[in-house]
Amino acid sequence: MHDEGFSIINKTNGKLPRLPFARVKEAILGKTYSLSVALVTPRESHKLNLAYRQKDKPTNVLSFPFDKKSGELVLDLATSKKDAPNFDMTAEKFLLFLVIHGMLHLKGFDHGSTMEKEERKFLRKFS
């Protein structure tokens, strides 16, 4: 899937989740932001998490800002699905949450109450 300023690369054998990726991207990052989303296996997310965060385990989402107007989200669907019950969400809703969470990091937010407020706002808007 690819359009102006947005692309998805599926590196898994799974099918693409039906989420409003482009609409969420536009609402959070704006029309001019160039975003790529990579769907990866737990093995790949583990490798990236170790390399960039020194955490020796797979992770559900990683955000890589390239500059103020572009970045990439890396989503591990299998790990996300496994983690969803810990957050009292369905797999699909948790994935939407992770997309929002990752995009807010790309926008410059750090973990905390302000970010959580934004997450809740966008989760309500797109759920």
Question: pLDDT tens digits, residue range 85-122?
Answer: 999 999 999 999 999 999 999 999 999 999 999 999 99
Question: Which of 82, 80, 83 shows the shortest CA–CA distance to 95?
Answer: 80
Q: What is the pLDDT of residue 2?
A: 46
| In the chain, where the domains are located | 2-126
**By C-alpha distance, which of 7, 14, 22 is closest to 40?**
14
Residue corresponding to tokens 């029309």: 31
pTM score, whole prediction: 0.93
pLDDT, one tens digit per residue, over 9-49 is 999 988 888 889 999 999 999 999 999 999 999 999 999 99
Q: 3 or 28: whose pLDDT is higher?
A: 28
Topology of the domain comprising 2-126: Collagenase (Catalytic Domain) (3.40.390)
* CA dist list (Å): 41 to 1, 13, 57, 78: 18, 9, 12, 7
